[in-house]
Structures are given as C-alpha cells and as structure tokens.
Amino acid sequence: MSEHVLVTQGLTKSYGSCQAVKGLDLEVRRGEVFGFLGPNGAGKTTTIRMCLGLIRPTSGRVLVLGRDVGRYGAEVLPRVGALIESPALYPYMSGRDNLLCFADTLCGVPKRRIDELLDLVDLRDRQRDRVQGYSQGMKQRLGLAVAMLHDPEILILDEPANGLDPAGIVEMRSLLRRLAGQGKTIFFSSHVLAEVQQTCDRVAILHLGELIKVAPMGELLHGSGEFKVRVANAIDALAVIRRQPWGRAARELDGMILTASPSGRGRELTEFLVAAGFTPDAVIERAQDLEEVFLQLTGGESR
C-alpha cells in the first residue's frame, strides 16, 4: 500500500496565455490532514478541480491512490469524497431525507450508515428538520456527511469553513480531526488560517500558480529567530540592545522586548543581558503564527 494517496506531477493548467497552475508537484500522505493555502487567485480551486477530474490539466497528471485520474477516474474517484464550497442540498427536505436521497443514487449504502453519519456530524437531534432551517455550519456538516456516504478513503474539500461563524468553524475543525482520527486522509483549502494552524499536519502554500512552500506545521511555525524578553528596566535594556549590530531592530511588544540574539540562541542573549546589568525574568523564543508566515511567503497578499 502506497504511503502517498494524492500526488500531482508537473500539474499545469493554462487558459490562453494565463497559467493558473504552473508545474505543481505535491504528495499527500495517507492519514494526514493537509492544508492547501494561497491568496485569492493562486490556483487552489483549479488544482482541486483537476484532482477530482472536473477539468483536464494542460500538462502533468494527478494520481489518486496510485492511479492516473485522467485515465482511471471512474475506478478511483468513487473512493474519494468531495465538498466544493457550499454543498448542493435539497432545502425543502430534512437532513435525513437528503442523506437517503443521495444514498439512493450511490446504491449499496446501508441504512445504518445514515445513522452513523448523523452521529458523526452531530445532526441526529435535527435530522427531521428541513435543511432550509439549518445554520450554515449545519449545512456544511450535512454536506460533509453526503461526501462521506460511500466511506471514502480521501476527502478533498474546497473551503469547508466557507461562510461559517466562529462556532461553526470550531465545529468543522473538530469534525475534520475526528475523521483524521478514523484514518481518513483529508486535503482541504481554506482562508481561515488560525483554524488551519490548529487542524493540519502539513501545509502547502501556492502563489500565482506556483508552489512556494510545503512543510509540516511545526517546522513552518518554528521560531522566527527572535526572543521575547521580560526584564525589570525594559526601557534602558532596550536602548542597550539597540546599540548592538544584532539588536538594531529590537522593539517593545506587549510590555516585553522583542529582539534577535547575538548568536540566534537564547543562552547568549541571556548572558549578554546579565553582563549588561539587566538580569531577565524570562527569555522566550518567539514562535510565528501561520498568518505571519503566509504573509511573508506571499508578499503580504490577502488570502
């Protein structure tokens, strides 16, 4: 069994002279939650549609479960669940009847699967209510249940938190992590970076159709090379630090000093401060959040 369940090789899509996706190489591992990020117009949705066989690449290919989607889509795509932005549901029907209706089109979905999914997406208590009365978060969860009817191995989701309020976003995060805990592979795009940071194992960042970064979340957010320093006489300590070649960019942040270190390590910064007469109460390596990293890599463009 291959470790990689979704692979793109030199994937390119052109519309006339415009290249929406440029030679994209990605590998998504079995059982991981993989975030696919980029500013608006970066090529995320185009890539997802090529992965699902909805549009044909200009060049390159997509492998799903080791098979070329362009040639063997009918064989492998039934093993994939997809949710592309807002789900296409029947608003005048109940949540349960929506699931039953979609199950009928798939054939072979046991009735117990409906109950399992209603429990999974936390809609058992609202299953008899019409979908038109659901919140956006409930509709998104029901759409995910539809995508899960045939128990797919991979979920490909385009903006699953689209239009959700904060509570709905938290619910979606919890659901995705539960699915990952059941062994599902999840590949999704999102512009809600705080949730991506808490949900994903790895992320890829696309910019102007090109892959500019792919890394585990922990590695991506690793220290920025700066330290937060708490010291009694912060104003005088900051002035001393700024006189050093390595400390010229030091600044005050939330009552602490934010500064580089003589060597990039906290130990040397502590030794410098002690020698200068400013024994610190704390020296903490400053970790970046995903939004900072994203803006640095994409030149500050919006998501």
pLDDT at residue 301 greater than cutoff 70: no
Q: Is the pLDDT of residue 302 over 70?
A: no
Q: What is the pLDDT of residue 126?
A: 96
Tens-digit pLDDT profile for residues 203-261? 999 999 999 999 999 888 876 678 999 999 999 999 999 999 999 999 998 889 999 99
Whether 186 and 180 have beta carbons less than 8 Å apart is answered as yes
Residue 161 has pLDDT above 70, yes or no: yes
| pLDDT surpassing 60 at residue 48 | yes
Structure confidence at residue 224 (pLDDT): 65
Write out pLDDT tens, residues 1-12: 578 999 999 999
Domain 4-219 annotated CATH 3.40.50.450? no
Domain ranges, ordered by start, for the chain: 4-219, 227-286
3-state SS assignment for residue 256: strand
Tell me the average pLDDT across 165-180: 88
pLDDT the model gives residue 68: 96
269 has pLDDT over 70: yes
Q: Residues 250-259: pLDDT tens digits?
A: 999 888 999 9
Alpha-carbon span 145 to 114, nearest angstrom: 9
Share the mean pLDDT of the chain: 91
Task: Name the pLDDT band for 303 (thresholds 50, 70, 90).
Answer: low
Enclosing H/E stretch for 167: helix 166-181
Smallest Cα–Cα separation from 117: which of 134, 99, 101, 102?
99
133 Cβ contact list (under 8 Å, min separation 6): none
Do 207 and 37 meet the contact criterion of CB atoms below 8 Å apart?
no
Residue whose structure tokens are 């060049």: 59
* pLDDT top residue among 34 and 191: 34
Contacts of 270 (CB under 8 A, 6+ apart): 280, 283
Contact 36, 47 (CB under 8 A): yes
Residue-level pLDDT at 199:
92
Least confident of 7-21, 42-56, 170-184: 170-184
Q: Give the full edge-to-edge strand order of the sheet including 4-15.
A: 18-29, 4-15, 59-64, 67-68
Q: Residue 1's pLDDT is what?
A: 57
pLDDT band at 286 (very low <50, low <70, confident <90, very high): confident
pLDDT for position 101: 92
